[in-house]
Amino acid sequence: MVDNVDKITSKILEDAEAKSAEIIEHARAESREKLEASRRKGEAARDRLVSEAEKSSDQTRKKIIAESNIKARTIILESKERLIRKAFDAAESELEKIAAGKGYADVLTALTRDTCIELGGGELEVIVRDADEKVISKAAKAIEKEVKAATSVDTKISVSTDAIGPGVIVKGKSGKVEIDSTFKNRLELLRPSLRLKVAEALFT
């Protein structure tokens, strides 16, 4: 009886051990598969993160480079603009020197004549600074004749003064039409085309 019990017990133990071994092996295989899947998933996630990081880094690098290029261009343009302004300031200073020079009376007379012709002649008001009133008043008759010859319109000019710079402002009879031929304004009118010439002279 005891032998039979021992045999049955031994059989149960053997079956249990075999079953346990089978379960353990299955568990190990499943564990290896899960581990491998996790490893692959982890590597994929890592590769994705690395790729995203590289892309992000590349985008950040490109952004920094782009911003740096923009900043550099801005600095260069600002520097060029400062140099151009200095060139124009120097031009204004030279014009001021002309206004203080001996030949200014002839320049002002010619400028007044040309501006009156441009306005078409007729009854015109010529505005100058106080220091130039005598010059234009003295030349008025000669200017009227030259304007009439150029426009075929009888011309009469009256001279008045105002707080303007060197040069002249000429108004028509109605006062609605005027041409500002002060040195400063003429320089401003020429500024767009002169900017190109100044830029070429400074930066090429």
Is 8's pLDDT higher than 60? no
Q: Give the pLDDT score at 4.
A: 42
Is 154's pLDDT higher than 70? yes
What would the pLDDT profile of 60-76 be if each residue is shown by its tens digit?
767 766 777 777 778 77
Count Cβ neighbours within 10 Å for each residue of 77-116 and write b for 16 or more, e otherwise: eeeeeeebeebbeebbeebeeebeeeebeebbbebbbbbb
* % of the chain with per-residue pLDDT over 70: 66
Is 33's pLDDT higher than 80? no
Out of 66-70, 124-128, 180-184, which region has the weakest mean confidence (pLDDT)? 66-70
User: Quick one: pLDDT band at residue 20, thresholds 50, 70, 90?
Assistant: very low
